[in-house]
Every structure is written in structure tokens, then in C-alpha cells.
Amino acid sequence: MAHAISPGKPDAIDFLQIDGMLSAEERLLRDTVRQFVADQVTPHVDDWFNDGVFPKDLVKTMGDMGLLGMHLEGYGCAGTSAVAYGLACTELEAGDSGVRSFVSVQGSLAMYPIWAFGSEEQKQEWLPGMASGDLIGCFGLTEPDSGSDPGSMRTNAKRDGDDWILNGTKMWITNGSIADVAIVWAGTDDGIRGFIVPTNTPGFTANKIEKKLSLRASVTSELVMDNVRLPSFAVLPNVAGLKGPLSCLNEARFGILFGAVGAARACYETALTYAKERVQFDKPIGSFQLTQRKLVEMMVGVNQGMLLAMHLGRKRDAGTLSAEHVNFGKLVNVRMALDVAREARGVLGANGITLEYPVIRHMNNLESVYTYEGTNEIHTLVLGQAITGISAFA
């Protein structure tokens, strides 16, 4: 028999009591990251964003905590569940998408391919230092003329005796200019292969992209490889073809579908507080029907997004998550987050355009999140193919 439904006291933020779905261990981990963000990120992030500075000092602290490559097993990694990784991304991105991007790139795009496709020697050489934050990684797939269609890449690696010679340009590379090691995907006679490239290798340069209005607390770079000579053991031995880089992107997208909820939550919380305090026509603007509707839509979006993320996280930990589920999550949750951020910006009026409040920073950041790791359009078409059996793009 069903229980009776009675009036409750729902929380204005965690309206659906999603907290109750978390284990004590998951809550402790979530609270630890939340505390880290409150102590180390939130008080300074407006200046980082304004000045275009990535907080490199935080990398070691994040490594000490176990945030880097946290869901990987062994080699100094914490080996947490997928849900734990997702919750950490939510809290980091509630601080700033740039900080979460750093962790996504380090763990899911740079460490994961070494962990999944590397030789034992490669894992031993790179993963412990990357987990501790002593070494920073980046991931080179996208090129100036090759975005949603990575198969069209021009970067190539050719054999020269036992060595490889790498040539090409990679674009929009998070962490590029601060990285110690780059995972670079290049066309070879055997299809697309991944290479571990120490960034001090002669012929490798990283140029920071300065004039951007999004993810300003994160480093974005162009990588140029001009006859970069690599030893035979630089190639990732256990993968060939696009499934290598695409599996890394699925890893990162999983973190993003949790992370975007954090950015949305921060915007909604800010708008809710503001609407209850801001007085116009002798009453708080939160008492107007138009504003209440906005607040409710934001609350619904954030809660639905978190429910979706938790569902996909639980499926992943149960071993039943498919790539298309990740496409679903990234498509829906980033779109939701951007809608919430824009709505919150409106609620804050002119104050919404300043860095005194986190909203426009999140809003501008989410424009990048909307595009990177698979554009909203491509995720839509992947789902279109999944339900019709017809590919619209390849």
C-alpha cells in the first residue's frame, strides 16, 4: 500500500531531497569539495576571471585531496565511484567552470587515455605525478579546421626509423600553456593514434589564447608541433582509431553533465537570495509573479538536472551506462544550466552584469561548456541517430 502524501518542508535548493540519495561517504566527499571551493575558489574567482588568471597554486592542493584522476584505480589515484567523481565536478563547477575544466582535462582527458590505453611503463611514468598535481596534462584533438568532425584532422605522425615525427596544430586546448605533457591525437598509416608528448620536446610550442570572454580563469591554448621527434614508445599502444579520443571525451562529458548542474545551482541560489532582498515598488521582487515563475523554473531545472546526473551516475557505477546516455546528459544539463544562468542574469538586473555576483561569469563560462566536448548540435544528432537508426552527419 502506498504511503500518504502530506505537506512537507522542502528545501529551496535541494527541493527533491536528492541529498537523501547519497551515501554518508558520498556526502562527506561532496562536503569536502564544497568546503575547498568555499575556502579557496569562491573568495578569489572574480579576480581570476577579471584578470584572466588560472589559479595554478591550487593544483597541488587538488592533487593532495585526490581530485585529479579521482575515479581511476591505482597509480596514486583515489579510485572513487563515478557518482563521487560527478559530485566533485558539481561542487567545483558551482565555483567556476574553469576550475572544473582543469580537473576534467587532467583526469578524464590526459590521465584517462594513459590509464586506459597506455603501457605499464607509461602508466608508471606519468600517472602518479599527474595524480599528485606535480605534472599537468592537456589533450590535443580539436584543430583550427577540425572540430565536430575530428576525423578530418591534419595533424600527422610519420615513422622515421623507430621514431615518430609529429606535425600539426591543435586548437582550444585547455591547460595547453601550463601542461607538462600533452596527449596528442594524430593521423598515422594505421589510423588515428595517441601520443604522449612531453611539452619540453623540441618543436613543440603552446600559445595562450588571450582574447576570450569565457573560461577566463582557465588556460586555453594553441599547440603547434613542428617536426616533433618522439621515441617509438611515445605512442599509446592499446588503441587505434577515433574510438580512442572519443572514449576520453565520454569520460569528460560524464563529469560535465554533473558539473553544469553546479553552475546552474550557483546561479539559482544567487537569484533566489537577490529576489528576496531586492525591493522595488515597496516589496521584494520575489513577490512578483513574473519573478516567482523565473525562480521556480530555475529550481525545477536544477533539481531535474541533478536527478538526471544521479541517475546516470548510478547507472555508470552499476555498469549499465551507455555513451548515448552520456550524450543525453551533456545535451540536457548544459542547455538547462545556460538557460538558468541567463534567467538569473535577468533577475539580477544591472547587478547581473558585474563580477560582484557569480551569474554572468557562469553564464559566459557555460557558453564554452555548451560547445566543448561535443556541441549541443552533435549530441542532438547522436541521439537522433540512436532513435531513428539514421545518421544525419556521418
Site string for other proteins, 294-313 (x = CB under 8 A): --------------------
Q: How far apart are CA 361 and CA 374, in angstroms?
A: 21
Contacts of 370 (CB under 8 A, 6+ apart): 334, 335, 338, 376
For the CB of residue 64, give the shortest distance to other proteins in the complex, in Å: 7
Residue 80 touches other proteins, criterion: CB under 8 A: yes
State in angstroms the smallest separation of the CB of 84 from other proteins: 7
The 3-state DSSP composition of the chain as helix, strand, coil percent (nearest 5) reads: 55, 15, 30
Q: Does 35 bind other proteins (CB under 8 A)?
A: yes
CB 361 within 8 A of CB 45: yes
Q: In 10 A of CB 226, how many CB atoms? A: 12
Q: Does 111 bind other proteins (CB under 8 A)?
A: no
Check binding of 24 to other proteins (CB under 8 A). Answer: yes
Distance CA 38, CA 65 (A): 15
E strand or H helix at 208, and its extent? strand 204-208
Task: Give the closest residue to 317 by CA, choosing from 65, 85, 17.
Answer: 85
Among residues 16, 18, 21, 32, which is the contact residue for other proteins, using CB under 8 A?
32
Binding mask 330-359 for other proteins (x = CB under 8 A): ------------------------------
Q: Which stretch binds other proteins (CB under 8 A): 72-80, 230-238, 255-263, 348-356?
A: 72-80
Per the annotation, the verdict on 373 as an active-site residue is yes
Cell numbers 537522433 label which residue?
A: 384
Coil/strand/helix, residue 11: coil
| Binding region for other proteins (CB under 8 A) out of 64-72, 176-184, 348-356, 378-386 | 64-72
Q: Are strands 181-188 and 163-174 parallel, antiparallel or unpaired?
A: unpaired
Helix, strand or coil, per DSSP, at residue 192: strand
Of the candidate residues 45, 49, 54, 66, the single one contacting other proteins (CB under 8 A): 66
Binding status of residue 36 toward other proteins by CB under 8 A: yes
Site for other proteins (CB under 8 A): which residue of 45, 72, 84, 309?
Answer: 84
**Binding-site member from 78, 105, 192, 312 for other proteins (CB under 8 A):** 78
Distances in Å between the alpha carbon of 344 and those of 69, 275, 297, 353, 370? Answer: 33, 10, 10, 11, 17
265 neighbors 94 (Cβ within 8 angstroms)? yes
Task: Answer yes or no whether residue 79 interacts with other proteins by CB under 8 A.
Answer: yes
Out of 143, 222, 251, 373, pick the active-site residue: 373
Told to check if 65 binds other proteins by CB under 8 A, we report yes
Size of the site for other proteins (CB under 8 A): 19
Residue 193 has which C-alpha cell? 593514434
Which residues are marked as active site? 373
Interface positions with other proteins (CB under 8 A)? 24-25, 27-29, 31-32, 35-36, 61, 64-67, 70, 78-80, 84
